[in-house]
Amino acid sequence: MNILEKEKKLIALEKQIDSLGNANSVKKLKAEIDNFKQNEMTKLSAWDRVLLARHQARPKAKEFINYLSPNFIELHGDRLYRDDPSIIGGIGTIDGNVFTIIAQQKGATTEDNIKRNFAMPHPEGYRKALRLMQQAEKFKRPILTLIDTPGAYPGIGAEERGQGQAIAQNLMEMSKLTVPIITVIIGEGGSGGALAIGFANKMLMLENAIFSILSPEGYASILWKDVTKAPQAAEAMKLTAYDLKDFQIIDEIIKEPPGGAHFDKEKVFIDTKVAILDTYNKLKKLTGIELYYQRNTKTRNYGFLQRFNYDNLGGIKNDIHKDFRDR
Amino acid sequence: MNDIGKSITKRKQLKQKLKIFQEERPFNKAQKMDVPKGLYEKCPTCERTVNKKTNIINDYICTHCGNHFRMRAIDRINYIVDSETFIEKGIGYITLNPLFQNGYEEKIQEYKKNTHLDEAYIYGYGKINNKPCVIGVMDSYFLMGSMGSVVGEKVTKTFEYAIYKRLPVIIFCASGGARMQEGIFSLMQMAKTSAAVARHSKMGLLYISVLTHPTTGGVNASFASLGDIILAEPNALIGFAGPRVIEQTIKQKLPEGFQRSEFLLEKGFIDQVVHRKDLKTVLAKLLAFHGGYN
């Protein structure tokens, strides 16, 4: 039984409460529901988390922004080609601190989703993000990015306008910034399309969000030539928040209520805000160069490998960073 | 003998080992790696059969239509770098299996045996027409040249070595993208390599990226697209998403020549399409223009 079926069962149980008149049996049923929530809804497999991350009712980036920063002003356009609605960017205050906020926005309805291209950005979206980040650098504003995308859009137009180049440029320019960058993965984090705005000093992640190199379906179809094996692929890919915390890819997990973020949005918003402000208060103490250095060292250490380093054996350290660090 | 003396002796011994390891490698001899299994192979563009030996002598260019066949990394180095000047760096990395995928380690071992490489990427110091530079070459015969942790690390080291030595970097890209088997670690290599390019660029050093067939996915979206000068070989497949993925998404056939080098040249994403025969001269010229640092 996956999480969506469990959720249906829970709703069915909750409906039964209204039909029951007897106070005693209502009490009994409520206890049962609580029990079900605590025991069944918290036991999640990797595939359950994938389903939750893609859940239609899951809070979208705009809802987060509305809560975090009620006075948010949206800024449009990349100044080169057009405005990409799948990435929203702008300026707002979070608890009195001015932030540049950039987010990937999924639509709430089908119509909205088509307008937003299912949160799959084109190159102009990434160039807009880059423009806003460089603006933030100019005015020494911290940057907050919210990731929620299945991936960068694979289409003719996107290729013609240099999807790969836009992502690469983003990664390169983000590594040079001297303002704090905080990233929160709120839903799906799909491949390079997610990473292109996620080169951060601190990366936070909601408990049921996912972050992976490609979709479990794609993984199953490429490696095992069988799309129906996606649940096993999700398990094998280690894409949940807990796995990524173990790998030290992300820094912090933001807890969600049992059954996913859509069961208690308010609480998730509050927790996210607290986590963001905590992280910001820590990063605020660092100077620009320290922030630059922290981000680059953090990224430098990504990877899982081993080396027989002949040069470093025998006590003489061959520090190739030294020259660069002294500057 | 005191501790320092001991460590120096140990180091010397290890250096000796490393030297043997280097001599075993065929870089310094004029020797082509691609030993033909069959005598003939079919050219994918003109569909005529080509003698493999002629092909190898002709630097993997089809004698009939000038199609560029894929080239192994070692052949590429022998072809581009002045003879006896290449010194390989960054030896001894071991590919691990972070996600415990079934059969991944065996696969790597098999590719290692077949390609005579440690990983899908090699780099080192070399001279092109007597101009020193750091050269990195990806090998598309090694698991489609995909970028895992080790490839990402070695690319980063390429730039760090070039920063240390104040040298320009030339990278020949040939990759299907990030390596799926290593999951999220492969993805993060995109950020790592891009940051390395930024640091190298900040020192005022030159980076030439040469895109060969194929350059797609995570490699295209990181260091391959960040060169100060981007060259490409004719008719190479260059793009972010693979053509099959795009066809599935938009549900129609792609136009002829889509995502090829000439297409990208027209759209303004590469500086020049260079024939393989001219590549060495063009690279040498570009290095000479930026020779102030050496």
Task: Find chain B residues with C-beta within 8 A of A214's C-beta.
Answer: 180
CATH of the domain at A283: 3.90.226.10
Residue B55 falls within a domain, yes or no? no
Residue A315 is predicted with a pLDDT of 39
Please, what is the average pLDDT of chain A?
A: 87
Residue A142 domain-assigned (yes or no)? yes
A310: nearest CB among B14, B223, B241: B14
Does residue A313 form part of some domain?
no
The pLDDT of A183-193, averaged and rounded, is: 91
pLDDT of B260-285, one tens digit each?
A: 999 999 999 999 999 998 999 999 99
pLDDT digits (tens, 9 = 90+) for A256-306: 988 888 888 999 999 999 999 999 999 999 999 999 999 999 999 888 887
Domain around A158: 49-300
Confidence of residue B294 (pLDDT cuts 50, 70, 90): very low
Average pLDDT, chain B: 85
Q: What angle do CA A326, B4, B8 make, to 5 degrees?
A: 85
* Dist CA A300 CA B188 (whole Å): 9
* Closest CB to A156 among B164, B198, B246: B246
Distance CA A282, CA A54 (A): 31
Could you tell me if A165 and B187 are in contact, meaning their C-beta atoms sit under 8 angstroms apart? no
φ, ψ of residue A164 to 5 degrees: the values are -60, -45
Task: Tell me what pLDDT residue A307 has.
Answer: 74
A-chain residues within 8 Å CB-CB of B185? 247, 302-304
Residue identified by tokens 């190898």 is B56
Contact B218/A313, CB-based, under 8 Å? no
Residue B267 near chain A (CB below 8 Å): yes
pLDDT of residue B201: 93
- Whether the pLDDT of residue B170 is over 70: the answer is yes
Tell me which of B8 and A171 has the higher pLDDT.
Answer: A171
Q: Do B125 and B134 form a contact (C-beta atoms < 8 A)? A: yes
Give B258 to chain A, closest Cα distance, Å. 9
Task: Tell me whether residue B127 is in a domain.
Answer: yes
The mean per-residue pLDDT over the stretch A63-76 comes to 93
Total number of domains in chain B: 1
Q: What is the pLDDT of residue A325?
A: 46
Q: Which residues of B touch A239 (CB under 8 A)?
A: 183-184
Percent of chain A surpassing pLDDT 90: 57
Decide if pLDDT at B293 tops 50. Answer: no
Rounded to an integer, the average pLDDT of B237-263 is: 88
Say yes or no for a CB contact (<8 Å) between A304 and B98.
yes
Residue A119 has pLDDT above 70, yes or no: yes
Query: For chain A, how many structural domains are there in total?
Result: 1
The C-alpha atoms of residue A245 and residue A188 are separated, in whole angstroms, by 16
B218 Cα distance to chain centroid: 14
Tens digit of each residue's pLDDT (9 = 90 or more) over B110-129: 888 887 788 899 999 999 99
End-to-end CA distance of chain A: 58
Mean of the pLDDT values across residues A145-168? 92
A26 part of a folded domain: no
What digits encode the pLDDT tens for the residues A198-245? Answer: 999 999 999 999 999 988 998 888 888 888 888 999 988 889 999 999
What crossing angle do the helices spanning A230-237 and A46-53 adopt, rounded to 10°? 100
Task: For residue range B21-64, list pLDDT tens digits in order.
Answer: 555 555 544 444 544 556 777 787 787 887 777 777 777 888 88
Q: Is residue B46 included in any domain, yes or no? A: no
Identify whether B263 is part of a domain: yes
Distance CA A187, CA B76 (A): 44
Pick the range with the lowest mean pLDDT from A319-323, B192-196, B246-250. A319-323
Burial A126-157 (b: 16+ CB within 10 A, else e): bbbbbbbbeebbeeebbbbbbbbbbbbbbbee
Q: From CA B124, how far away is CA B206, in angstroms rounded? A: 16
**Minimal C-alpha gap between B154 and chain A (Å):** 11
ipTM for this prediction: 0.88
Confidence category of residue A316, pLDDT binned at 50, 70, 90: very low
| Statement: residue B152 has pLDDT above 70 | yes
The answer to whether residue A147 is domain-embedded is yes
B198:A309 CB<8 A: no
* Residue at B23 is within a domain: no
Range of the domain at B187: 71-293
Q: Dihedrals φ, ψ of B50, to 5°?
A: -120, 140
> Tokens 């050269």, residue?
B135
Q: B265: helix, coil or strand?
A: helix
- Residue B198: the pLDDT is 95
Chain A residues close to B182, C-beta within 8 Å? 304
Q: Is residue B280 part of a domain?
A: yes
pLDDT attached to residue A7: 81
Q: How many CA atoms lie within 13 A of B237 on its CB side?
A: 16
User: For residues A197-207, b (16+ Cβ closer than 10 Å) or e, as one string?
Assistant: bbbbbbbbbbb
| Alpha carbon distance B239, A160 (integer Å) | 9
pLDDT score recorded for residue B91: 81
B92: left (phi over 0), alpha (psi -120 to 50) or beta: left
Q: Is B273 on the interface with A (CB under 8 A)?
A: no
The enclosing domain of B264 has a CATH number of 3.90.226.10
pLDDT tens-digit series, residues A8-52? 888 887 777 777 777 777 788 788 878 877 777 778 889 999 999
Q: CA-CA-CA-CA torsion for A51, A57, A61, A64, nearest 10 degrees?
A: -120
Q: Decide if B151 contacts B121 (C-beta within 8 A).
A: yes
Percent helix, strand, coil in chain B (nearest 5)?
A: 45, 20, 35
Instruction: Give the model's pLDDT for residue A308.
Output: 66
Nearest to A303 among B185, B242, B258 (CB): B185
Distance CA A91, CA A143 (A): 9
pLDDT value, residue B61 = 85
B250 found inside a domain: yes
